[in-house]
Chains A and B, each alone.
Chain A
């Protein structure tokens, strides 16, 4: 089951620069997308979400972009901070389906 794919297992970025995390999905029934952040020894923490009726959602330093035609979404973190170093999971759910399908995660390392 590879309905949600995060093809980059890791990303290293300089503090203050932009981090761009990518996510692709195959299930055309997905209409709600979320990003979760996970620190070691902790559970995933909700970060930001977007409904398929939108193409952008912004919350502080975090912006999620959705390109439905390409079945692609991305998370932008600007500016990146050392505390952003974590694993980021892309997740999706379909209408009338309340479970989340997760990607494999991208480990972000923000260098000082």
Chain B
């Protein structure tokens, strides 16, 4: 069964450093998302991406965040200057299309720890 894969599974970084979280969505999917879950809190939407551009972003997704689909397969989330409060589980998701009954498939997540 096709799946969304994320690397690395765990990343530890120093505050102020840049991190890139990587995702390989399911190959025929067109819509891509990043969500995050701070420990003990709910899963929060960060950004959606379609046709090589951001289609929507939340207030969390400020200027320190960026997304890219550099080669047609990978979908990356970059955090330019990490802060302690960026520590969270980051989930990538993809959908085949925008039909309402098309489910979003999630990756297993990357646990980001900022120290």
Which A residues are within 8 Å of any B CB, using their own CB?
1, 4, 32, 34, 36, 41-46, 49, 51, 89, 91, 93, 97-105
A-B contact count (CB 8 A): 60
Asked if A89 meets B43 with Cβ closer than 8 Å, knowing A43-B4, A99-B48, the reply is yes
Shortest CB–CB separation between residue A112 and chain B, in angstroms? 27
Chain B interface residue bracket vs A:
20 to 34
Question: Is the CB–CB distance between A51 and B101 below 8 Å?
Answer: yes
**Among B14-22, B72-80, B105-113, the stretch in contact with A:** B105-113
Question: Is the CB–CB distance between B104 and A46 below 8 Å?
Answer: yes
Contacting residues, chain B, for A49 (C-beta < 8 A): 101, 103
In the complex, A45→B43 CA distance in Å?
A: 13
Contacting residues, chain B, for A4 (C-beta < 8 A): 42
Question: Is the CB–CB distance between A46 and B41 below 8 Å?
Answer: no
In the complex, A49→B91 CA distance in Å?
A: 20
User: Given A43-B108, A43-B109, A100-B35, 6 more contacts at CB 8 Å?
Assistant: A43-B91, A45-B106, A89-B43, A91-B43, A98-B98, A105-B43
Question: Is the CB–CB distance between A98 and B31 below 8 Å?
Answer: yes
Contacting residues, chain A, for B93 (C-beta < 8 A): 43
Contacting residues, chain A, for B45 (C-beta < 8 A): 99-102
Contacting residues, chain A, for B41 (C-beta < 8 A): 104
Contacting residues, chain A, for B109 (C-beta < 8 A): 41-43
Shortest CB–CB separation between residue A33 and chain B, in angstroms? 11
Nearest B residue to A42 via CB reads B108
Nearest B residue to A39 via CB reads B108
